[in-house]
Amino acid sequence: MTGVNQRLGEILRDGDRVGIRYDRTLAHPPAKLWRALTESDHLRHWFPADILGERRAGAEVRFRFWPETVESADTELAAAGVDLDDPELPGKILTWDPPRLFEVLWDDEHLRFEIHAAGTGSRLLTTIWFGAPGPHGNSGTAAGYHFCLAALADLLDGHPVTEPAHDLVAEYERQYAELIDPSSA
> How are the residues of the chain apportioned to helix, strand and coil, as percentages rounded to the nearest 5?
40, 30, 30
Instruction: Using a cut of 0.85, tell me whether the model's pTM lies above it.
Output: yes
| Cα 114 to Cα 177: distance, rounded to the nearest angstrom | 25
Q: Give tens-digit pLDDT for 151-181.
A: 999 999 999 988 899 899 999 999 999 999 8
45: which residues sit within 8 A by CB, 6+ positions away?
151, 155, 161
Q: Give tens-digit pLDDT for 5-30.
A: 678 999 999 999 999 999 999 999 99
pLDDT tier at 1 (50, 70, 90 boundaries)?
Answer: low
CATH number of the domain encompassing residue 124: 3.30.530.20
Domain that residue 12 falls in? 2-184
> CA distances (Å), 62 to each of 56, 107, 113, 142, 149, in order?
13, 9, 18, 22, 21
Helix, coil or strand: residue 91: strand
Q: 112: buried, middle or exposed (CB in 10 Å: 19+, 13-18, 0-12)?
A: middle
Give me the number of domains the chain comprises. Answer: 1
